[in-house]
């Protein structure tokens, strides 16, 4: 299960990154630094999440760590679908397209927290620990590659940014709910906060759909009058 979740989290994280790059490239008028800036924000978030999550949960029980993983996925799924609209809002107000960068950093940190936490609860100390960790990481890498290629070369040929973002958001929320369901096997029904968070995240994703209206116009024209002209 840890390998599956590692691969799935990699797929979702890199899938979102590809979608976000489309947003950044349009907001930056396809200037070369757009990808470098997004990649820097994304990798910094992944690194921060990996470091902090392990430090903050090193003394927690496996059950608690599993709940944290589920919570992080729920939050990431519920927040990620609103990030493209934040860039559009920044452009309409004449701000830099990097103004929402902290939100992208935070979301990347949530995704980055999943892999080390999965290793923490699934890999036992012993002679096989190294090989078990490597299998989890390989699964994550495979998922990341499939996410990049699948979103960039397949889904983007058939779906728009709205559909891709919502699909990834729903998948992330369902993954978080699945982790919480697995964690409940040790303690019965999940706590009330987990149920409420799952429902809130599941509702938040489709509610983000109207935020994509005229998004391309906002990203392209910013605060100019042409923003009101629909492509």
Rounded CA separation 65/186 (Å): 13
Q: Is-contact 46 108, C-beta < 8 A?
A: yes
Q: Are 14 and 153 in contact (CB under 8 A)?
A: no
Please report, in tens digits, the pLDDT of each residue of the chain (231 residues total).
Answer: 788 999 999 999 999 999 999 898 888 876 777 788 888 999 999 999 999 988 888 888 888 888 899 999 999 999 999 999 999 999 998 888 889 999 999 999 999 999 999 888 887 666 566 777 888 889 999 999 999 999 989 999 999 999 999 999 999 999 999 998 887 765 555 678 888 999 999 999 999 999 999 898 888 887 776 556 665
Decide if 115 is inside a domain.
yes
Domain CATH for 105: 1.20.1250.20
Domain total for the chain?
Answer: 1
Core vs surface per residue 120-129: b (16+ CB within 10 A) or e? bbbbeeeeee
Domain that holds residue 126: 1-221
State the burial class of residue 196 (Cβ atoms within 10 Å of its Cβ: 0-12, 13-18, 19+): exposed
Q: Is residue 228 part of a domain?
A: no
In a domain, 73, yes or no: yes
Question: Of all helices (H) and strands (E), which one includes residue 144?
Answer: helix 129-149
């Amino acid at each position: 299960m840890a390998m599956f979740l590692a691969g799935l989290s990699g797929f979702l994280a890199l899938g979102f990154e590809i979608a976000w790059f489309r947003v950044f490239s349009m907001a930056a008028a396809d200037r070369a630094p757009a990808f470098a800036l997004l990649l820097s924000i994304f990798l910094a978030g992944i690194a921060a999440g990996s470091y902090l999550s392990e430090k903050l949960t090193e003394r927690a029980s496996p059950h608690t760590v599993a709940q944290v993983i589920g919570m992080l996925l729920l939050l990431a799924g519920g927040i990620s679908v609103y990030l493209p609209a934040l860039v559009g809002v920044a452009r309409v107000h004449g701000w830099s397209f990097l103004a929402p960068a902290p939100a992208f950093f935070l979301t990347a940190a949530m995704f980055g927290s999943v892999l080390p936490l999965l290793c923490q609860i699934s890999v036992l100390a012993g002679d096989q620990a190294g090989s078990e960790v490597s299998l989890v990481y390989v699964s994550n890498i495979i998922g990341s590659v499939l996410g990049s290629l699948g979103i960039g070369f397949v889904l983007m040929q058939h779906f728009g940014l709205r559909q891709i973002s919502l699909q990834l958001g729903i998948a992330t929320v369902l993954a978080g709910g699945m982790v919480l369901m697995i964690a409940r096997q040790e303690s019965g029904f999940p706590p009330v906060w987990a149920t409420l968070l799952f429902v809130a995240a599941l509702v938040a994703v489709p509610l983000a759909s109207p935020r994509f209206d005229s998004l391309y116009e906002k990203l392209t024209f910013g605060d100019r009058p042409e923003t009101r002209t629909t492509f």
